[in-house]
Copies of this chain bind each other. A is one copy, B any other.
Amino acid sequence: MKKDVGTRYTKEESNALRSALAGRQLVIKEQKLPVIVMVEGWSASGKGSAISSTIRLMDPRFFKVYNMDKITEEEWRRPFLYRYAVRMPGQGQVAFFDGSYLDEAVKDHLAGLTDKKEYENTLASIRDFERSMTDNGYLIIKVFLNVDRKTQKKRLKTLQESKNTAWRVVDEDLWQNEEYDLFARTYETAREATETPDCPWHVIEVSNEKDVEGDLLSIITHAIDSRLAEIAEKGRDRKLVKNPFALKKIKPLAKMKLEDKTIPEEEYRKELERLQKKLSKLHYKLYRKKIPMIIAYEGWDAAGKGGNIKRVVSALDCRGYEVFPIASPSVEEKSRHFLWRFYNRLPKTGHIAIFDRTWYGRVMVERLEGYCTENDWQRAYNEINEFERDLTDWGAILVKFWVQIDKDTQLERFTERQNTPEKQWKITDEDWRNREKWDLYENAINEMLQKTNTEFAPWTILESNDKHYARIKALKVIIDAIEAKLDEKK
């Protein structure tokens, strides 16, 4: 029952709309629908008070409101979408963003923090992010509160005049009013660039607060209903997006030679020491130049990931890296987009994050054990490529290792672990069960390697029948990647 501009809602109408929304909370919980409501718009357009009155009858245990205006230093040192991604709600929850990434992208650009190309990339990655979120079951409701120049000026003045609210008016707000036309044009093109059928923009013309909350309430309720109707009708499967990224050919595992990939003990010791010294120096340069780095390890059980990682980190300053062993997701993690727990573990600029198993679990174990639907893992290749593109666009060095051994070598190592008391904790029945599915996994891995071997985030195979060989190769690849990035920056 959205009304025309300027028409007022009666107190009764607003209350009816409020309790209607409160009722939807139960439906959302039942349907496990996670909802994000982004209230964007001009400063002093009444975003906050619109949200406040919208939630008045909602159950506060099942929604959160985030004021996204202020960016902390920790957030500045993460990718653009980080602070929004880490706040995504779980199933059945609602997150309100008071101000969001459209506003941030526009302000960054007009303030000269991003050039035209960076700005367009940001808008593109926002579009992809929203599609990926929607495909993973999220409802994103985007509202823009539009206020004309005169009204905004008047409102800012009113705010400044009361000592209870004066602190809320910052220079940026005044600047926005001075440059009103420029902002108006930019907001409009930004909305167009992020307009999609699944995540359309709802522009509310602000004439007085009543209209805002009334319209906001009916927009949210309507969006929830139509999404649930759509799911009921078409189910949760989503259309697959054709992969838009250039892919480099990569050999299937079976074709990878392992026998000749060895290194003599003596040479190994020498090389290890030399390369670790070198990496250690480079680590300080990364730190000083504030370049973030992400090293992703995937590989067969007992392929030697742990030992490989150990040789890398022992060359690093312990204050500049973190290692994340990735096990099965927690309840909170299961109830969100599968990339959420990795957004949560992204390094700060100048730091290194090492993942022992990664987001590729989606197209391996989750695929083969049926922890997600076929449609989910089919989509995941592209969702992962977009995620990695955002990381490299951010300026991160991204190294992806597949640690490869053959089936016999795995058997040897399993047996050895079984028979060595202090290694037994490393081997579980699950490892044996997975081993029985070797061929299924090999198929999935080949498909994964091929479909995610992008120009910006290519795979490196670490031939690890000889662990020493794999460790030396890993160090070399990491060193080369860092040096390449440092050259770029020169």
> B67 to A314, Cβ gap below 8 A?
no
CB-CB nearest in chain B for A330: B330
Q: Is A226 an interface residue (CB 8 A)?
A: no
CA distance A61 to B331 in the complex (A): 21
> B317 to A48, Cβ gap below 8 A?
yes
Q: Is A26 an interface residue (CB 8 A)?
A: yes
Known: A52-B317, A317-B48. A59 touches B310 (CB 8 A): yes
Kindly list 11 other residue pairs between chains A and B, CB separation below 8 angstroms, not including A26-B422, A60-B323, A65-B318: A26-B425, A30-B425, A48-B318, A55-B318, A57-B314, A59-B310, A67-B319, A72-B74, A164-B284, A164-B288, A167-B288
Q: Is A29 an interface residue (CB 8 A)?
A: yes
Which residues of chain A in 17-49 are interfacial with respect to chain B, using CB atoms and an 8 Å cutoff? 23, 26, 29-30, 48
CA distance A65 to B320 in the complex (A): 9
Q: Is A306 an interface residue (CB 8 A)?
A: yes
Copies of this chain, count:
2
CA distance A292 to B51 in the complex (A): 22
Q: Bits for A357-392, please: 1 = Cβ < 8 Å to B, else 0.
A: 000000000000000000000000000000000000
Q: Is A455 an interface residue (CB 8 A)?
A: no
Which residues of chain A in 308-323 are interfacial with respect to chain B, using CB atoms and an 8 Å cutoff? 309-310, 313-314, 317-319, 322-323
Q: Is A356 an interface residue (CB 8 A)?
A: yes
Q: What residues of chain B lie closer than 8 Å to A165, measured between beta carbons?
A: 284
> A281 to B164, Cβ gap below 8 A?
yes
CB-CB nearest in chain B for A288: B167
Q: What residues of chain B lie closer than 8 Å to A74, measured between beta carbons?
A: 72, 74
The 12 listed contacts between A and B (C-beta, < 8 Å) are A26-B425, A51-B318, A55-B318, A56-B314, A57-B314, A60-B313, A61-B306, A61-B356, A65-B319, A72-B73, A98-B318, A330-B331
